[in-house]
Amino acid sequence: EPEVTQTPSHQVTQMGQEVILRCVPISNHLYFYWYRQILGQKVEFLVSFYNNEISEKSEIFDDQFSVERPDGSNFTLKIRSTKLEDSAMYFCASSAAGRDQDTQYFGPGTRLTVL
């Protein structure tokens, strides 16, 4: 069964460094998302992406964040200058077009630790 994959599974970085989290969505999906989950808290929406542009973003998704689909398969989340409070699990998700768009399939997540 096709699935969303994410790399790395765990990323440790120093405060102020840039990180890029990578995702490979399900191949025939057209909508892509990033969510984050701070330890012990709820999953929070960051951004949705369709047709090579951001379609929606939350207030969390400030200028420090950017997303890109550099080729036909990868979808990346970049954090330019990480802060301690960026430590969280970051989940990528994708969904198909049409009515099936409703179901979002999540990757296993990348645990980001900012020291």
Partner 1 sequence: SQQGEEDPQALSIQEGENATMNCSYKTSINNLQWYRQNSGRGLVHLILIRSNEREKHSGRLRVTLDTSKKSSSLLITASRAADTASYFCATDPNTGNQFYFGTGTSLTVIP
For position 42 contacting partner 1 by CB under 8 A, the verdict is yes
One residue of 75, 82, 86, 91 binding partner 1 per CB under 8 A = 91
Q: Provide, rounded to whole angstroms, the least separation between the CB of residue 70 and partner 1.
A: 22
Q: Is 94 a residue that touches partner 1 (CB under 8 A)?
A: no
Q: Counting contacts by CB under 8 A, is residue 105 touching partner 1?
A: yes
Establish if 56 lies at the interface with partner 1 (CB under 8 A): yes
Longest dimension (CA), the chain: 42
CA–CA separation, 88 and 3 (whole Å): 22
DSSP per-residue codes, 24-93 = E--TT--EEEEEEE-TTS-EEEEEEEETTEEEEE-TT--TTEEEE--SSS-EEEEESS--GGG-EEEEEE
Minimum Å gap between C-beta 106 and partner 1 is 4
55 binds partner 1 (CB under 8 A): yes
